Amino acid sequence: MYSYCGFTNFGRNFIRTMQKLIDRFVSYITIDTQSDPNNLTFPSTEKQWDLAKLLEKELTEIGLSDVYLDENCYLMASLPSNISHKVPTIGFIAHIDTSPDFTGTNVKPQIHKNYDGKDIVLNEDEDIILSPNDFDDLLQYKGQTLITTDGTTLLGADDKAGITEIVTAMEYLINHPEVKHGTIKICFPPDEEVGKGAHKFDVKAFNADWAYTMDGSEIGELEYENFNAASGLVEIKGKIVHPGYAKGKMINSMQIANQFMATLPAGEVPERTEAYEGFYHLYGMSGNIEKTTLHYIIRDHDKEKFEKRKVYFQERANQLNASLGKDLIKITIKDQYYNMREKVEPVMHIVDIAEEAMLKASIKPNIKAIRGGTDGSQLSYMGLPCPNIFAGGHNFHGRYEYVPVESMQKATQVIINIAQITAQKFE
């Protein structure tokens, strides 16, 4: 039986590893990698290459094998086994892009040591304050070191915290051969934030039996369920006529859009739902008298309810068209990804290993369903079962994003522990 010496040594070097995590994380977040949902190229923004190339150089320098950056900006590498017996090959994945919802240009990180539980002034000039009155989860990190921005950009902990943890764990395992492990694969894909992170992922080349995305939020999160997801495009035709002579002639597409929106359940929206409750989310709209476009996402964990939601969405348009006497509303629904639970449950030992790895790091696992999706949900349906583990950040995709350094350190320990436990269990 292997001892958990890797975790013990990592914990003993707390201060040194903390500073290394901070330095590495800051070097990543100050590179703008914001993706673009309106660009169909791979990657969707050229600037994602900047971080990919830096990581390619860094992975080579710390001693990983088979470092390869492909033509689509997918960076893969391997850590060879240091044991004689054969064990499953495991993988760790974190995406390099940041959300298109909020700017990631010119990130100015701020480091707050020994957080006192009070308001954090991010930007005095613009009166931007990160307050536990608004985000009470801050209080669980009193006494810890928090990294924030200056309030004018997102931070990029989603998912550069995950990248930091994976690289740091691999470097540790290379420098500590007494920690026994099988072959480990890592991949840093682009464009996860625009739903394309798994589209050109070469699962065969990755060649892992299973993997984990380090893409969750607060410490302890362990997830193997996510939403079934679809997009809903609503296109409404109108007719423009001089308003003084419009009676019986004008068709105002914006008014029809308002009628369509009113047909959907008012309580089934993100801001009024939680846990396993699904929703319809209007996230974009544009229009004039002649044409209005509504952009929705449709979500539900339960596959049967998900299918019913899509039918209900289409039926609302059909009924409204019938009442108008014309087919003025066109609906286009496209499935995006599915609940990974179906693919993970047959191999639940991979969740059990992650849970044990957290307990070995003195972390209470918080196993719950993701109210969203990760690359892991698509990869699970591509033949690579892929639960999601916390990376430590909070308030993703906005100016109030922050990450406790201690959470990143614990996530790094979990990666090391997973490697050890897998080697032990398959001895």
7 vs 220, more confident: 220
Tokens for 152, please give them.
């004018």
In the chain the first and final C-alpha atoms are separated, in Å, by 8
Distance CA 139, CA 173 (A): 33
**Average pLDDT in the 333-360 region?**
96
Last residue of a domain, one of 298, 318, 337: 337
Same domain, yes or no, for 133 and 247? no
The total number of structural domains in the chain stands at 2
User: Per-residue confidence at 5, pLDDT binned at 50, 70, 90?
Assistant: very low
pLDDT tens figures, 353-368: 999 999 999 999 999 9
Catalytic positions? 97, 192
Q: How many residues does the chain have?
A: 427
pLDDT tens figures, 120-141: 999 999 999 999 999 999 999 9
User: Per-residue confidence at 427, pLDDT binned at 50, 70, 90?
Assistant: confident
Last residue of a domain, one of 288, 303, 337: 337
Q: Which of 249, 325, 330 is nearest to 291 (CA)?
A: 330
pLDDT tens figures, 296-307: 999 999 999 999
Distance CA 67, CA 78 (A): 7
Same domain, yes or no, for 300 and 267? yes
pLDDT at 170: 97
Tokens for 140, please give them.
């669980």
Distance CA 60, CA 68 (A): 10
Last residue of a domain, one of 337, 352, 371: 337
**Average pLDDT in the 252-280 region?**
97
Distance CA 109, CA 221 (A): 25
User: Per-residue confidence at 374, pLDDT binned at 50, 70, 90?
Assistant: confident
Same domain, yes or no, for 409 and 330? no
Q: Which of 20, 19, 41, 22 is nearest to 30 (CA)?
A: 22
Domain with 284, as residue range(s), is: 228-337
CB neighbour list of residue 240: distance below 8 Å, 6 or more residues apart: 250, 288, 289, 290
Same domain, yes or no, for 193 and 71? yes
Q: HEC states along the chain?
A: CCCCHHHHHHHHCHHHHHHHHHHHHHHHHCCCCECCCCCCCCCCCCCHHHHHHHHHHHHHHHCCEEEEECCCCCEEEEECCCCCCCCCCEEEECCCCECCCCCCCCCCCEEECCCCCCCEEEECCCCEEECCCCCHHHHHHCCCCEEECCCCCCCCHHHHHHHHHHHHHHHHHHHCCCCCCCCEEEEECCCHHHCCCCCCCCHHHHCCCEEEEEEECCCCEEEEECCEEEEEEEEEECECCCHHHCCCCCECHHHHHHHHHHHCCCCCCHHHCCCCCCEEEEEEEEECCCEEEEEEEEEECCHHHHHHHHHHHHHHHHHHHHHHCCCCEEEEEEEEECCCHHHHHHHCHHHHHHHHHHHHCCCCCEEEECCCCCHHHHHHHCCCCCCEEECCCECCCCCCCEEEHHHHHHHHHHHHHHHHHHHHHCC
Same domain, yes or no, for 314 and 325? yes
CATH number for 214: 3.40.630.10
CATH number for 283: 3.30.70.360
Same domain, yes or no, for 125 and 110? yes
Same domain, yes or no, for 190 and 134? yes
**Average pLDDT in the 35-59 region?**
96
386: left (phi over 0), alpha (psi -120 to 50) or beta: beta
Cα dist. 275→108, 278, 302, 369, 395 in Å?
Answer: 34, 9, 12, 7, 17
Same domain, yes or no, for 45 and 138? yes
**Average pLDDT in the 172-194 region?**
96
Same domain, yes or no, for 261 and 323? yes
Tokens for 378, please give them.
């698509």
Same domain, yes or no, for 211 and 149? yes
Same domain, yes or no, for 210 and 304? no
Q: Which of 4, 90, 80 is nearest to 357 (CA)?
A: 4
Same domain, yes or no, for 67 and 92? yes
Tell the burial category of 228 from Cβ atoms under 10 Å away from its Cβ (0-12, 13-18, 19+): buried
pLDDT at 1: 38
Cα dist. 163→149, 191, 213 in Å?
Answer: 18, 14, 10
